[in-house]
Amino acid sequence: MEVIINLNKIPLIMKIPFSFFFLSFFFLFSTLMFGQKEKYRKSSIGFYSEIRSDTTNLNRYTEDNEIYKAGYRFCYSLEYFDCNGSQRYYTHTGDRRWDFIKKNDSIVVEYCMKILPGLEAPFLKVKDYAQTIIQYSFWQIDGNEQPVSEKTGLVENKKNVWLHPPRTDLSSILELNPFPCIRFPLIIGKMWKGKLIIGDFWGDVRWISWEGQITNNYKYKISRKCTIDTELGVLKCYIVKSVATSTLGKTHLTSYFNQQYGFIRYEYTNIDGSQILINLKKVDVK
């Protein structure tokens, strides 16, 4: 007996090829297992920040950090040498003022960078501020904290780590240097560029002053791997050589990046030929 099948009466789902079901299941499985592919926004400064849709989660730019985790505090020694190579000392003297002084109990010898959870004012009002909030505090040789602090940001994700250096009092000279940055994957010889417009607010007659805005053009290169002896032990790290060029001249930063502790050493050559050396001393949780 001949059986005649009326295709018009077959349920629609039976007409769909098996390959469609397979591909749909594979896509759903991949999404559930591995999540959506990360999206990034490239900054002209030279780093990538995450684009996150969960805007109600104030901790969205910190919760997945592997190095700079909320509550952690990174403390560094700080040494300054003038353009003649002589070590000099400074202290905060009140209301955005500081001065070089002779060595005594009030000189600044250390700063700490604390990783804060979430976003807060004034950063909530900044459009697309996709950074982890950090707070810098400055410490004297006698162990007392200076009456000045600074809040700013860093970026840590699968593409790169980038951060604002301290820029309070004497360390405001670092605005004219390349900002610490490293890109992943860590490959010797990798290079990238960036730029930043800087206003004359950052000028100081003690190193250089100008009127209007200048553009700092950055060049970075992962130059080599090395092992260095630190207060946290012997650490393997990648060295990033960077230079900033503007109409004012050139500045340099050699930074040392460790995959567990992040940036562990900075060697700055400033716009006036002076140098700032910074070394990681300890990491704790506060």
Given pLDDT bands bounded at 50, 70 and 90, which one contains residue 13? very low
Residue with tokens 């700080």: 78
- pTM of this prediction? 0.86
Strand partners, 279: 77, 265
**HSE-CB for 224 with a 13 A CA cutoff:** 3
Whole-number average pLDDT of the chain: 89
Confidence check: pLDDT of 172 > 80: yes
pLDDT one-digit tens code per residue, 44-87:
999 999 998 888 899 999 999 999 999 999 999 999 999 999 99
User: Could you tell me which of 82, 104, 81 has the C-alpha nearest to residue 91?
Assistant: 104
- pLDDT tens string 245-276: 999 999 999 999 999 999 999 999 999 999 99
Q: Is 171 left (phi over 0), alpha (psi -120 to 50) or beta?
A: alpha
The pLDDT assigned to 55 comes to 82
Is residue 1 over pLDDT 50? no
Greater pLDDT, 36 or 216: 216
Compare 198 and 22 and report the one with higher pLDDT.
Answer: 198
User: Per DSSP, what are the bridge partners of residue 133?
Assistant: 153
Domain locations in the chain as residue ranges: 48-285
**Phi, psi dihedrals of residue 236, rounded to the nearest 5°:** -85, 140
Give the right CATH number for 48-285 from 2.70.70.10, 2.40.360.20, 2.130.10.10, 3.90.1150.10.
Answer: 2.40.360.20
Question: Binning pLDDT at 50, 70 and 90, where does residue 121 land?
Answer: low
User: Would you state the pLDDT for residue 53?
Assistant: 85
Please check the confidence at residue 103 and state whether its pLDDT lies above 80: yes
186-192 average pLDDT score: 98
CB atoms inside a 10 Å sphere around CB 163? 21
For the chain, strand residue ranges (E) read 40-42, 48-50, 72-81, 87-92, 98-101, 108-115, 132-140, 145-156, 160-163, 181-183, 191-199, 213-230, 233-246, 249-258, 262-269, 275-285
